[in-house]
Structure 1
């Protein structure tokens, strides 16, 4: 209890040292209470399955350490992409089980084992190395097995998976704790490919069960599959996007309300009036067709605001939707406004301002990408401010 109090005091000291958002030029504001609300709603929906919280890529740009702390009481395990991501959590005294979702390179194996990080295996060399370490350290090492049911990115081939797990169970010191697959098309309207992958996965699971080799944790569902198909839940769902209040599917918000946890904001740093025919920003890709007022905001591609938004992006300024004029620069972008906008005014890139709202999905659609890329692309130059 005393340790927890000390940690909370440290967080408050850090927050007190941060300037108020009214003094910051550009920042992302993270609502931790929204993340807590989301995970509890998800837990209720998937019960009795558990949650494996995917917090790779700095928790999709939300901050892995604060997010892990807020989720700890509601999830069975965290999942990340790299050994460095896992070690960052361990160094922050996150003691929950942590699963690395992909094969790791040989020189990183011992590093992961020392930190009691669970590794994913899909071929023979990694578990052989782990078995040698386990015998040397006289301890069991937990692993999860990735089965390729059709995504063809990685994983043990379906037709070899049962034999592979039989062999793994003969290796000294190796404890096969989990088995999983990953769906390639769960976010699509049609279920043909998902049905095919699920059929293949169930076939492997059934064979393992008959051989008394079924691991204790079977997981397959990402956020999309979790929302649309309860037959993908198994022992645990492996989710990221929905934890942060973003719905990858259309039409599911009614039965599982989610609260968006991130708002991305900046401020107007200058205003100006432009005459007819004047160009704006690099290359003069925008020219004024009439006299207009412009506002320069302190946001650019070095902050993760994509250059592809040039001449197409929007922001909320002064309670209205404003269009981006010209090229996004490294540090600043220019928006067409009116004379009511002043230096210091708030610019909302993602979030609410009055009755208007912009979400990450809208931004992604404008540049032909996905919500995940928008969120993970917000650079470390943008400070994260946490509210609870």
Structure 2
């Protein structure tokens, strides 16, 4: 099968979208499919020619012409992803799209989301008036209404919408999707679980991800300040912070956490495993993620997790036991972290359930389900074209 994948995250960008697209393409190629992956690259070199966005780990793809394929799979809705949307319509082939990012949740956090939404509306030829485009500049209900209209137009062009979690699928409701919705989480590569290899001394709480507002670092810092009342020798490691470092350092100082929090920039993905091995618990305070590969990776490595998002309670591959969830409040999250550190039976149970889920949901299971989605989309009526 000839499949064209379109992704707006460049190689090496530390996000789940890039890694998900890479793993998907790698599995499909190993299974014998002919796969093209279009994503931003340098002006001269491999990939789609692109320009960097100042102060952001983002590159904007320039116009390009993809090779014809039998199925189009879009992983994002930036310039590269929109090229996939248009190509599927022009070629008369099915469009499969994975909804990796919560469009509505991110719009009031990242200025590039409303700008990108305007670009999408132009590329999809929605015929919006200047007043309707200006609504994207107004935070709150006005912007949300305009983004919902855009989302509906996107879903109308899909043959299949892939949700990385049941939570994400439920979030499709405002878009009234006519496309078939399939829940298909991204798997993680097999790892060998190991015992903690961190330095002796106090407990190490690890957080992996951006330090921007949508990841809710304020909740994590406030919870950790409360945790230290019971565990004064505990340390918090923030791994993956690129933006807002000065702001986070100010908040760390204001909460009296100087000397107890280590803030690290993103590292190559291969190096993250060492941080899992050095930690006692993974703290996850974001409530806007559609899946979070970090959770599955930590569980596959034998690191217990505490999660503040009830929508992510179900692990990929799990049949019964869910993740250890608490309310997204500082006192509740601190209490949950403390329980995970002090209750040996609970800790062992959470680790065991995480390892079982990881071993059940393998990349091979994911591949078989994805191939079925492609085959079914090809047998369907194909992509829904713009009116």
TM-score calculated relative to the size of structure 1: 0.29
TM-score calculated relative to the size of structure 2: 0.29
More strand by share: 1
Task: Look at both structures and tell me which one has the larger radius of gyration over its CA atoms.
Answer: 1
More helix by share: 2
